[in-house]
């Protein structure tokens, strides 16, 4: 059973994010990939962070598990817990095995981190568009453009989506040199998007 739980956590960490085989970061849609030397230990540290207090899940202490994760990672516990409760309320006790509980708890943790970081990146892109280009376009128009690009799996947006999660993880588990490299990639993709939404 422990092996299955560990496999589930590994799967959820890597899903549409990272290839353990090639050491590459995927874009959100897995259509593009990017090799950044040194990210394998970062992704593994994230996986280990999620596995560390896994016994709390096994004993049914789900909120305590989230509290432990929140000591290191900036998750919104209430949002993750609500998402978890909504998912498990639709299943019977017989259907709800340990692997499903892990899926419904760890998946929303990653989603919450990723969505929060992506929303911050979008705000930064909008700010840069206004400051750098002194654009007269309304903010809502630029936001709509970015949302359309996201929904159409634009390659730049899809890669930025995963890069900002990686940036957060590197800030927790990596060194200065790797942070510099990852920030460089985030800046590159952000600048590309800024110039595209104001054109």
Answer yes or no: are the C-beta atoms of 39 and 18 closer than 8 Å: yes
Phi, psi of 76 (to 5 degrees): -90, 100
pLDDT in tens, 20-52: 989 999 988 888 999 999 999 999 999 999 999
CA 118, CA 123: separation in Å to the nearest integer? 9
Instruction: Tell me how far the alpha carbon of residue 133 is from its chain's centroid.
Output: 29
Positive or negative CA dihedral for 143, 145, 149, 151?
A: positive
pLDDT in tens, 46-85: 999 999 999 998 888 999 999 999 999 999 999 999 999 9
pTM of the model: 0.90
């Amino acid at each position: 059973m422990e092996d299955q739980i560990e496999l589930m956590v590994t799967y959820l960490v890597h899903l549409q994010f990272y290839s353990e085989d090639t050491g590459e970061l995927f874009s959100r849609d897995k259509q593009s990939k990017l090799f950044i030397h040194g990210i394998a230990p970062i992704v593994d540290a994230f996986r280990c962070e999620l596995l560390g207090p896994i016994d709390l899940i096994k004993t049914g202490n789900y909120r305590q598990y989230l509290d432990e994760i929140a000591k290191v990672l900036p998750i919104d516990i209430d949002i993750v817990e609500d998402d978890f409760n909504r998912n498990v309320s639709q299943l019977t006790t017989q259907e709800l095995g340990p692997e499903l509980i892990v899926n419904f708890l760890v998946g929303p943790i990653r989603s919450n981190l990723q969505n929060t970081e992506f929303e911050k990146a979008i705000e930064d892109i909008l700010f840069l568009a206004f400051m750098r280009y002194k654009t007269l376009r309304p903010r809502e128009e630029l936001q709509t453009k970015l949302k359309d690009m996201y929904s159409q799996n634009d390659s730049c947006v899809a890669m930025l989506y995963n890069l900002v999660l990686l940036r957060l993880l590197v800030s927790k588990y990596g060194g200065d040199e790797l942070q510099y490299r990852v920030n460089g990639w985030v800046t590159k993709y952000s600048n590309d998007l800024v110039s595209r939404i104001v054109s």
